[in-house]
Amino acid sequence: MPTVSDTQLPIGLAPSPEPTVENPRSLRTAGLFAGIGGVELGLERAGHETVMLCELDDRANDVLDDRFRHVPERQHDVRGCELPSGIELVAAGFPCQDLSQAGRTQGMRGSESSLVSHVFRLLDTHDVPWVLLENVSNMLRLDRGDAMRYLAAELEKRDYRWAYRVLDTRAFGIPQRRKRVFLIASRVANPAASLFDMSVPEPATPDHEGRAVGFYWTEGNRGLGWAVDAVPTLKGGSGLGIPSPPAIWMSDDRIVTSDIRDAERLQGFEADWTAAADERQGRSRWKLVGNAVTVDVAAWVGRVIARIPEHGEGPVGARPLPGDGSWPTAAFGSSEGRYSVGVSQWPSLPARFTPIDEFLKFEPKLLSHRATAGFYKRLMASRLRRPAQFERALEAQLEVFGATPVAV
């Protein structure tokens, strides 16, 4: 294992090779809660075929209309949708609003996240051999793991074997610290036979000196989201109730926010992927991007699904899970038992990791006077630990604006 020295990740190292199979499977896929198509685009890059999309949000549908014109069937409300014949994989990045730390934390009782029940309704009426679910990692801890327990139980009732793993977007060479649960379930194979094959230790975080640091300017009371050489998780909402980009403390002491096109790239999309939604509402693109699934991560999961052997066992050394309490970051199970797995959130090292200040292609803009002043006031009233240089950078930015207020 290479030593991490002067950068967060080794530069120029070849990634760990992924296992290959002679005849990888290609599955006909229905994407539910499709959003702007992050899961579906990733699965297509892995060789799967999208034949149906279901999404309720009008702005997201503007994007899907523009980017997925090749998909033959479109539906809009999961509560009434039906699957076309021949679907082999149902993919659902179901709503996270009731499960995320930034959301309502009502768990599976919430009006949004409980919509995943319609996935199981469809599985009861259609013979679907494969399922892919995605959501925030907070669901493993919220209400002592009640959400994950519900998902596992519903899959086991229907004779699915399942395996999940928390994956960090940074492991795929993108400077966004984004940790999400990806759960694969199957009636015809054991997902645990491939999902945990690759694992490397998460590289140590370097000191902030001379580096760009991402943080949440909408926070400051209880946390910062501090991310060296990266940005914290892009979110559809925030502590102030608005969709907005994280701020970046650049190495030259400017405090900036990224262009929406770089935010799209931080989710693995090409720049202007959401341009079709631009005319509806000013902040709509930020919300769409923040709620999306990182394409590169979905593509890796899609390749795992393509190579899972029909006859395979789970990893050696797995430990039985207790009946209650929070869930680990990786596990697998079936009606015969549930087990935890000691793998990291990094399947491999990326070929190259580009720090956030080098990643940006479009000119960022200074965080506004109003936003900077509000964050600075909250930060100074808190007990949060922060470098003295960070405080001075905020103060210098306020001096640049002077007394002239600028809208957020």
DSSP state of 293: P
Dihedrals phi, psi of 337, to nearest 5 degrees:
155, 160
- Cβ burial of 112 (10 Å; 0-12, 13-18, 19+) is middle
Exposed e or buried b per residue across 269-286, where buried means at least 16 C-beta atoms within 10 angstroms of its C-beta: beeebbbbbeeeeeebbb
Helices (H), 30-108: 38-45, 58-67
Spatial distance between the Cα atoms of 159 and 175, rounded to a whole number of angstroms: 38
Decide: helix, strand or coil at residue 74: strand
Give the dihedral of Cα atoms 168, 172, 176, 178; nearest 10 deg. Answer: -20
Encoded tokens for 220: 């400051």
Query: What is the distance of C-alpha 213 from the center of its chain?
Result: 20
Spatial distance between the Cα atoms of 171 and 9, rounded to a whole number of angstroms: 9
Encoded tokens for 331: 């596990």
HSE, CB side, 13 Å, CA atoms: give it for residue 24. 17
Encoded tokens for 264: 């799209």
- Which secondary structure element, helix H or strand E, spans residue 311, and what is its range? none
Spatial distance between the Cα atoms of 106 and 252, rounded to a whole number of angstroms: 42
Spatial distance between the Cα atoms of 160 and 130, rounded to a whole number of angstroms: 8
HSE, CB side, 13 Å, CA atoms: give it for residue 252. 5
Enumerate the active-site residues. 96
Spatial distance between the Cα atoms of 359 and 370, rounded to a whole number of angstroms: 27
- Angle of CA points 174, 228, 240, to nearest 5°: 90
